[in-house]
Chain A
Amino acid sequence: MTNPVLEAIRTRRIARALTAEPIARVDFEEVLKAARWAPSAGNRRLHHFIAIQDPLTLKLLRMVTPGMFQRPVAIVVICIDRAKAMSFGMRPNAKGLYVDVGTAAQTMLLAAYSLGLGSGVVTSFSQAAVSAVLNLPDGLSPEMFVCLGHAAPTQPPGMPTRGHVTWQSLTQWERFPKSPENAPPGPPASAVATSSRP
């Protein structure tokens, strides 16, 4: 089965090499508009997006982001608005806060892809350094970057696959069987990655 949405989900890839070509402001705004429609726990909207296109700010952000392979021409910094979260009585590590970072990011990745842009997410940065570079107010914690640009024609090899992954290997239908010998097949524990974003 296929349709444009499924096709986009299946074919989108992280761009680890981007060209220096700027992206149009209108496209950047479309990506941000899409994020507004991302699922949000309780529809609380506890996130804030910082949109960056200034070359010097981009350069400094890259300097404090060891996980950034690409040189993006635009970045959306997804922040958790912790003050707002506290006003709802949420604990600092409430999982909904982080889940919603992911839903916003994935929505932006798909929106960017639909516009012909390259994109990638990065979490390996120093929150303290990023807060200093962006002069973030207290209460906003930077959690993820969505890097944007135009994908370079040649991309570096991606993270190697650890075990053969299919939708079936990721899925358990209904309850787990009781006896160990009936356990579903899956990749060995040593092949399960703890993280896939360098």
Chain B
Amino acid sequence: MAGTMVLTEDEALDLVAFLVTAARTQVDEAAEYGPLRLLMAAGRLAEFIAERVTPETRAFLMGALKQMPELAVRTSDPAGYVAALDTMCRAVGEHLVTHFGLDRKAP
């Protein structure tokens, strides 16, 4: 699956537009929306590519990456929010290790 195109031009433009305009809106928004917007972008990207990636990556995108509620923000539970982000980041790291074969590489 390496090198497979998983994003169409329309989908990529959608994501570029989201990221650029989010950079602008974030100037005026509550700071706690920063992580929320980044996770929204990750979620959109995940939805776009889910059907074209490996089953393992699809499972990661639809599983670990979806654990955070869409509207979760830090102020409602600062410690829990950070812990949930760390859990997601750990899952990202673990999936990268598996996907790129780092765990199968000879020492």
B91 CB-CB contact with A under 8 Å: no
Which residue of B has the minimal Cβ distance to A126? Answer: B21
A67→B18 CA distance, assembly (Å): 9
Q: Top 3 closest A-B pairs, CB basis? A: A126-B21, A66-B22, A160-B76
Which residue of B has the minimal Cβ distance to A158? Answer: B71
When distances are taken between beta carbons in the complex, the residues of chain B under 8 Å from A96 are: none
Q: Which of B37-66 contact A (CB under 8 A)?
A: 37, 40
B73 CB-CB contact with A under 8 Å: yes
- CB atoms of B22 and A162 under 8 A apart: no
A159→B75 CA distance, assembly (Å): 11
A90 CB-CB contact with B under 8 Å: no
- Residue numbers of A with Cβ under 8 A of B are 16, 63-67, 69, 124-126, 128-129, 156-162, 190-191, 193-195, 198
| A-B residue pair count with CB separations less than 8 angstroms | 62
**From DSSP, what is the main secondary structure of chain A's interface residues?**
loop
- CB atoms of A157 and B14 under 8 A apart: no
Q: Give me 5 A-to-B residue pairs in the complex whose CB atoms sit less than 8 angstroms apart, sorted by A's number.
A: A16-B70, A129-B21, A190-B75, A198-B36, A198-B71
Q: Given A156-B69, A160-B72, 11 more contacts at CB 8 Å?
A: A66-B40, A69-B70, A124-B25, A126-B24, A126-B25, A129-B21, A156-B71, A158-B71, A190-B75, A195-B30, A195-B33
B59 to chain A, nearest CB (A): 21
Which residue of A has the minimal Cβ distance to B14? Answer: A63
- CB atoms of B25 and A159 under 8 A apart: no
Given contacts A63-B14, A66-B37, A195-B30, is CB(A157)–CB(B71) below 8 Å?
yes
Which residue of A has the minimal Cβ distance to B17? Answer: A63
Given contacts A126-B21, A129-B17, is CB(A156)–CB(B70) below 8 Å?
yes
Could you say which of A63, A157, A161 contacts B69, with CB atoms under 8 Å apart? A157
When distances are taken between beta carbons in the complex, the residues of chain B under 8 Å from A158 are: 71
B97 CB-CB contact with A under 8 Å: no
- CB atoms of A161 and B71 under 8 A apart: no
Given contacts A157-B69, A159-B71, A161-B76, is CB(A194)–CB(B30) below 8 Å?
yes
A193→B29 CA distance, assembly (Å): 11
Which residue of B has the minimal Cβ distance to A157? Answer: B69
